[in-house]
Amino acid sequence: MKIKVLIPLYDDWQSLQKLIENIDYQIRDIDHIISIVVINDGSNEKAPDNFPNYSKINSIKIINLKENVGHARSIATGLKFILENDNFDYVIPMDSDGEDRPEEIKDLIKKIEPKSDLPIVCERVKRSEGFFFKFCYFLHKLTTFTFTGRSIRFGNFTCLPKEIVKSMTNEKATWSSFSGALSKIAKIKIGVPSERGTRYFGPSKMSFKNLIVHSLAIIAVFKFNVLIRSTLFFFVYLFLIYEKISVITLIPLLLIIIFVLLVFLISKRESLENYKNSSQNIFDVKVIK
């Protein structure tokens, strides 16, 4: 099988080199053709001049973008590039910083079922972040399930068969949220238990604001589910407090209205037209190996 590992990157070249080294080691006993495709999302830091001569990795390409577009859109651009330019059977998107553990690539590959178009997802069973992040992640999962009816326990670290990649590149939600789009496209998925790793170098570049936007972008993929469920809650709650209406009891309704408006506002990030034109943001492609 021909497998492409897709890695979005922004100013994290040191981590990338360690990640590729670890991938090369972890796949030493895997009898498949595994290549690396890096999406350089308009990094300010200069790329290394030399990469080691990896023994198992078949090839390495670095796709340099003209402008920074963010994590989700980098992955979307990479999926489209691979579909249009490479011969492949599966794509494995993963982060460059070590939080997606390279040793779990073997677990994903072992779950591949011949002649199956089901995606394989890493479902988090253990995280390495602090209490505050874990609490926020719990709230995100609870909110997502409550307002969309979807339990999304995976991120970018997945294994996508070619047919799913084709579907992803024809879905406008992919331009805004990878996991939201995949959940929409593939209702049935194969799960693999996954532990969140620790960053190789430096602190996370993800701000709290970006985490909120990321969460809302996932929920926004199912905005009409959100609207229906919020409307039901609105009227049920209004009926229950009808005889006790006050400024305080109306606060939950106000919060629901604000939440729905934010979801629909974030959903405007989705654009199939912009996604189809994403290749115009590619500056060049460098073949390292």
Q: pTM for this one?
A: 0.92
The residue assigned the tokens 């006050």 is 246
- The distance of Cα 186 from the centroid of its chain, to the nearest Å, equals 14
Q: What angle do CA 126, 121, 42 make, to 5 degrees?
A: 90
2-205+271-287 topology per CATH: Spore Coat Polysaccharide Biosynthesis Protein SpsA; Chain A (3.90.550)
Q: Where are the alpha helices (DSSP H) in 57-177?
A: 71-85, 105-110, 131-148, 162-168
Tokens 């330019």 identify what position?
85
Other CB atoms closer than 10 Å to residue 242's CB: what's the count?
Answer: 9
60-65/33-40 β-pairing: parallel
Euclidean distance between CA atoms 40 and 122, whole angstroms: 24
Closest C-alpha among 60, 47, 49, 80 to residue 20: 60
Residue-range domain boundaries for the chain? 2-205+271-287, 223-264
Share of the chain above pLDDT 90, in %: 75
For the cut 80, the answer to whether the pLDDT of residue 242 exceeds it is yes
* Number of Cβ atoms within 10 Å of the Cβ of 217: 24
Question: Is pLDDT above 70 for 130?
Answer: no
pLDDT at 127: 57
Q: What pLDDT, in 10s, does the model give residues 167-209? A: 999 999 999 999 999 999 999 999 999 988 888 987 776 667 7
- DSSP state letter for 46: P
Question: Which two tokens mark 223?
Answer: 């905005």
Contacts of 107 (CB under 8 A, 6+ apart): 122, 192, 193, 194
pLDDT, position 280:
97
Q: Return the beta strands (E) in the chain as ranges.
A: 2-9, 33-40, 60-65, 90-93, 120-126, 154-161, 190-195, 282-287
